[in-house]
Chain A
């Protein structure tokens, strides 16, 4: 069965410093992977997706993620954090040949001025 593990429940950074949110996946085949962001009292927004094309995926708001099969990782990065990036981030894998999404437990990103 497919699954994702988000390695940090909370990450705190200062504004202007890099962001790294870690995610490992488990899958017996090449998966489709996503990062979603959830701001307080708002729905989930897709940041980026990997679907077996380029391994370095660029998303919205300056975020990007790299698919590393050898490490079974799909970490989310951003060169410079902004206050508006403070939110809950979910790493997600889709079940093979379906669009059923399997979510990680989430990482809460705090950004300090």
Chain B
């Protein structure tokens, strides 16, 4: 059973560019959450997708957007990249039907470097 997978592993972009990160949830999971982890910090919640819609959002600007596909996979898009967007981006999946456990499974992350 494959866990949560993310691609690419590493990415280098220039300020002002746009980037798309991808996530496939754990088998049987229908909900995907995205987190940003800056160096030396704990992960910060960006947003969550369920049934192809953004279900809740953290304190991130509109430059951060996402999408969920019918197969539950998800994309995170960041426009007009800033140096401060350099971070590890983590995807986590869960099953909303089991929300009472609030258990999320994390992928290995995508390391984004903005130069």
Q: What is A's interface to B at a CB cutoff of 8 Å?
A: 32, 34, 36, 41-46, 49, 51, 90, 94, 98-106
Inter-chain contacts of A41 with B (CB < 8 A): 108
Partner of A106, one of B42, B48, B101, B109: B42
Inter-chain contacts of B104 with A (CB < 8 A): 46, 99, 101
**A99:B43 contact, CB within 8 angstroms:** no
**B103:A101 contact, CB within 8 angstroms:** no
Nearest 9 CB-CB pairs, A to B? A103-B42, A44-B106, A43-B106, A94-B102, A43-B108, A99-B102, A32-B102, A103-B43, A105-B42
**A43:B107 contact, CB within 8 angstroms:** yes
With both beta carbons as reference points, the residue of chain A lying nearest to B31 in the complex is identified as A99
A-B contact count (CB 8 A): 61
Q: What is B's interface to A at a CB cutoff of 8 Å?
A: 4, 31, 33, 35, 40-45, 48, 56, 58, 90, 92, 94, 96, 99-109
A94 to B48, CA, bound (A): 14
Inter-chain contacts of A98 with B (CB < 8 A): 56, 99
Determine chain B's interface SS by DSSP, over half rule.
mixed
> Can you pick out 16 interface pairs between chain A and chain B where the beta carbons lie within 8 Å of each other?
A43-B4, A43-B109, A46-B105, A49-B103, A51-B100, A51-B102, A90-B42, A99-B48, A99-B94, A99-B102, A99-B104, A100-B33, A100-B48, A101-B104, A102-B45, A103-B42
Q: How far is the CB of B108 from chain A (nearest CB, A)?
A: 4
Additional 8 contacts, C-beta under 8 A, given A46-B105, A94-B102, A106-B42: A43-B106, A44-B92, A45-B106, A46-B104, A49-B102, A99-B94, A100-B33, A100-B48
A100 to B105, CA, bound (A): 13
**A105:B101 contact, CB within 8 angstroms:** no
A105 to B38, CA, bound (A): 11
A42 to B48, CA, bound (A): 21
Inter-chain contacts of B42 with A (CB < 8 A): 90, 103-106
With both beta carbons as reference points, the residue of chain A lying nearest to B100 in the complex is identified as A51
Q: Known interface pairs A42-B108, A43-B107. Does A100 touch B101 (Cβ–Cβ under 8 Å)? A: no
